[in-house]
Structure 1
Amino acid sequence: MYLQVCSRIGTVPVRRVLRHLGQSSLDLNHYGIGPLGAKALAKVLQYDNTITSLELEDNSLKAEGIHYVVEMLQLNTSINSLNLSKNDLRVEGAHIISKMMSHNYYVKCIRLAGNGLDDASTKYFADALKGDYVIKELDLSYNKFSNIGGEHLGQMLAGNAGIEVLDLSWNNFAMKGAVALCAGLKVNTTLKRLLLVSNGFSSFVADSLSQALKINSTLVLLDLSNNLIDDYAVSMICSGLAVNGTLKVLKLSHNTITSVGALTLLKTVKNNTRTALEDIDISTVLVCEVFMELLADVQKRLPALVIQYKVVPHITKRLSAMSLFKNYLQEQRGSLMESLRAVDKDRTTKISTSDFRNIIKSAEKPLDRNQIEWLVRKFDRQCTATISYR
């Protein structure tokens, strides 16, 4: 049937279609099918009941080709995942797809990344999805949404009862649009994964996002990578994280956060007894020694917590000195105490820092000079030149 249709409408058959018909997934990404190829494929797939995933990314389908695909979906009841990314759909294609969304009962995942969709397109999607409960995953990344688009999508989030994964990365939501998105997130009850990579989010949006995190009780992943979030924005977001009990994954890499913001974030996690956070990505932030020490303390209460960060090697080496010293203390406590008492002739339970250095050096532990000096500063925080060994 496929070969006959291709011959009749004058398009070249795609051999991959012949090889994969009858399987659950049909991957036709980057085949240059075009509108006529989509028409031929649609004629066959309207009768198919085995394919559940249809991949048509980067095929120059345009609005005409999408029209044939949508017509096919009116009859096909097996396809539940549809990838139409990079097909130059623009606003006309968005209008056609939105009509399908309004009468959709089977497609649960739609990917529409990189289609030149603008703010006018979001109006169609918002109207179709406000009361929808079927579509669970929607990818609208790499498009051209800004203020008005954010307002439409925010209204959609407020009324939608189905979407669990929403990717809006690599758009350009200005302040007003981003605030509207946060307002929708605030009252949404189904969204679990929200990706907002590279949208120019800054401190102007952080307060709205914080308010949403205080109330939202379903979001488990928030990706804010590659934005304009600084330490001040982190502090505002943290006021929401301080009471949030569902968010598990937070991605903040490639922002303008410093070690100050990283420390604020970690303190918030420590103080929130209800926190669900398990994975924090600040992998482009160079953290300080205080952060490392606090992290070790936090992970005692939250052993599942994983934080990706950058650290200068000498800080890691310094911190390893403490664990080496503690191991030595456990292994050689008797002999160590004898050494300490031997130099503490007045039995004050204190020794000079110079005596401490000599004892550690004589213990033949693999500690260099910098590590020993770091231990001295830790044990002699008041700079009295003495260390208590009680």
Structure 2
Amino acid sequence: MDNEEPLEPETEDEPKTEPAAQDSDKALYCEAEASVAAEKEKSGWESSETDLEIEDTEKLFTTGQRELYLEACKLVGVVPVSYFIRNMEESYVNLNHHGLGPTGTRAIAIALVSNTSIVTLELADNHITEEGALSLVEMLQENSFLQDLNISDNELGFKGASTISEFLQRNTSSLLNLQLSGNNFRDESAELLCQALSANYRIKMLDLSHNEFSDKGGEHVGQMLALNIGLQSLDLSWNHFHIRGAVALCNGLRANVTLQKLDLSMNGFGNEGATALGEVLRLNNSLVYLDVSSNDISNEGAAKISKGLEINESLKVLRLYLNPLSMDGAMSLILSIKRNTKSKMEEIDISNVLVSEQFTKTLDGVCAIHPQLDVTYKAVQGFSAKKMALLWTNPMKLIQSYADQHQITVADFFKSLNPKGTMTMSVGDFRKAMIQQDKVPMSRYQVRELIKKLDEKTGMVNFSFLKKVKP
């Protein structure tokens, strides 16, 4: 068998061989460790049933780690995952869609107890259920290196939420980022999770999208946000929050001082929820990113949000895509930025709105005051295809032409825009520098295209890769 050929597909769980549950956290791995010690002199598990053939394994990972996982697989009765074995010493491991089930997850958890390499672990869509969640929680009590865990789409349900909530209440893990999207969590799960998160200060990023939280769940989330002092990013998109849940959630945001990124898209806030959000934006000084796309917010709601934007000094990104806005609502948004001299707004997404040429002229005036601002809309009424083509002339070609004329590299051109002289800049600073520089005049459309090419999806643009391009 070729060494690069993957193993046979992982088998389904085999309940008949699964050991009984243990009370102690250490029970997760002590049996496997004992088995490793007993067979330390053996050459490893070479059963034909596993079809496991690995070349020069000692160069890839420590024998102890490999043996521990193989013995754990033998103990619980599953076929080892070849990808996991090959990547046990990497910092990022992606086991999404591997069909692990709760038993396969238990074997992985046993191996991870003493693993010091893996920082990010993806386990989405593995049908791990609440049983697999328990194995992972037991492992997390011992592992102090794992920081990012994705267990989305795993049918955890209420029992899984209960297990995770008890874990979060302990505040003892190194985990910072937890993704729990699409796990059939309802309001009773929201209550447990929010009770735990009210006192948890370790989790920084939490994804609860694609669950089934209703207005009652929104009330629990609002109470949690009023007390939590750790969360920096929260994704609640694709739930079922309506007016009551939106108002309760916003009441919690009034008191929150740590949350920076909030995704509430694909819910049902309506204009009443938008009114509550507008009040929050007048008071909150921590939110940097807010997504309320597809929330049935009309011009009336946009006007309420605009009232908050006239005062807010922290928000940089506002997404209102797929809301029933017209040009009037769009105009109220950009005029609110114009009135706020301390606004830090960098991006407004209203990309389903058709605007007029008068709107673009008004926007030009706003951008003269706030050159870091970019507003994405659908199109401009009356603009010909030829005129639009001129606006979208390839910006990199223009910069390359300037660089050739002045015998410099494209990287040198970008570097000259940065006061710090480094090869990275925040998106807002880069947009501002590009609009204000006069070496290669560009439209907002062209600058937006440049950012798409250079943005690392982290709010930073990086042009270091251009250093190799010679004049």
For this structure pair, what is the TM-score category when the shorter chain's length is used for normalisation? Answer: 0.7 to 0.9
Matched, 1:138 2:222: no
Q: What amino acid is the match of 1:184?
A: G
Q: Is the 8 A contact 2:169 2:199 kept in 1?
A: no
Task: Give the drift of 1:8.
Answer: 2.0
Task: Give the drift of 1:72.
Answer: 0.7
Q: What amino acid is the match of 2:354?
A: L
CA shift digits 1:125-167 (9 cap, x unpaired): 1111112211100000000000110000100000000100000
TM-score (norm 1): 0.80
Q: What amino acid is the match of 1:52?
A: V
Secondary structure of residue in 2 paired with 1:110: strand
Q: What amino acid is the match of 2:244?
A: K
Give the distance between the partners of 1:230 and 1:39, measured in 2 at CA.
49
User: Quick one: which of 69, 75, 83 aligns to 1:8?
Assistant: 75
Query: Which residue of 1 is the match for residue 236 of structure 2?
Result: 168
Structure 2: gaps (5+ residues): 1-67, 392-471
After TM superposition, the structure 1 = structure 2 runs for residues 292-307 of structure 1, keeping only pairs within 5 Å, are 292-307=360-375
After TM superposition, the structure 1 = structure 2 runs for residues 140-159 of structure 1, keeping only pairs within 5 Å, are 140-159=208-227
Give the distance between the partners of 1:288 and 1:314, measured in 2 at CA.
8
Matched, 1:189 2:257: yes
User: Quick one: which of 189, 192, 205 aligns to 1:124?
Assistant: 192
Query: Which residue of 1 is the match for residue 139 of structure 2?
Result: 72
Give the distance between the partners of 1:317 and 1:19, measured in 2 at CA.
52
Secondary structure of residue in 2 paired with 1:283: strand
Give the distance between the partners of 2:244 and 2:351, measured in 1 at CA.
29
User: Quick one: which of 101, 105, 109 aligns to 1:42?
Assistant: 109
User: Quick one: which of 185, 195, 198 aligns to 2:266?
Assistant: 198
Query: Which residue of 2 is the match for residue 63 of structure 1?
Result: 130
Which has the higher mean CA deviation after the structures are superposed, 20-29 or 149-158?
20-29
Q: What amino acid is the match of 2:205?
A: E
Give the distance between the partners of 1:312 and 1:168, measured in 2 at CA.
33
User: Quick one: which of 10, 25, 29 aligns to 2:92?
Assistant: 25
Matched, 1:52 2:122: no
Q: Is the 8 A contact 1:257 1:285 kept in 2?
A: yes
User: Quick one: which of 80, 90, 103 aligns to 2:157?
Assistant: 90
Query: Which residue of 1 is the match for residue 345 of structure 2?
Result: 277
Task: Give the drift of 1:48.
Answer: 0.9
Matched, 1:224 2:303: no
Identity %: 43
Q: Is the 8 A contact 2:314 2:344 kept in 1?
A: yes
Q: What amino acid is the match of 1:278?
A: E
Matched, 1:265 2:333: yes
Q: What amino acid is the match of 2:225?
A: L
Secondary structure of residue in 2 paired with 1:308: strand
Q: What amino acid is the match of 1:42?
A: A
Secondary structure of residue in 2 paired with 1:314: coil
Q: Is the 8 A contact 2:148 2:178 kept in 1?
A: yes
Task: Give the drift of 1:313.
Answer: 5.6
Q: Is the 8 A contact 1:266 1:291 kept in 2?
A: no
Q: Is the 8 A contact 2:354 2:381 kept in 1?
A: no
Query: Which residue of 2 is the match for residue 106 of structure 1?
Result: 174
Task: Give the drift of 1:174.
Answer: 2.0
Q: What amino acid is the match of 1:13?
A: P
Secondary structure of residue in 1 paired with 2:142: coil
Q: What amino acid is the match of 2:98?
A: Y
Task: Give the drift of 1:317.
Answer: 8.2
Give the distance between the partners of 1:187 and 1:171, measured in 2 at CA.
23
CA shift digits 1:281-314 (9 cap, x unpaired): 1111001222111011111111111110122362
Secondary structure of residue in 2 paired with 1:254: coil
Which has the higher mean CA deviation after the structures are superposed, 56-65 or 299-308?
299-308
Runs of 4 or more consecutive aligned structure 1 residues displaced over 6 Å after TM superposition: 316-320
Task: Give the drift of 1:318.
Answer: 11
CA shift digits 1:319-352 (9 cap, x unpaired): 99xx9xxxxxxxxxxxxxxxxxxxxxxxxxxxxx
CA RMSD of superposed structures (Å): 1.6
Query: Which residue of 2 is the match for residue 249 of structure 1?
Result: 317
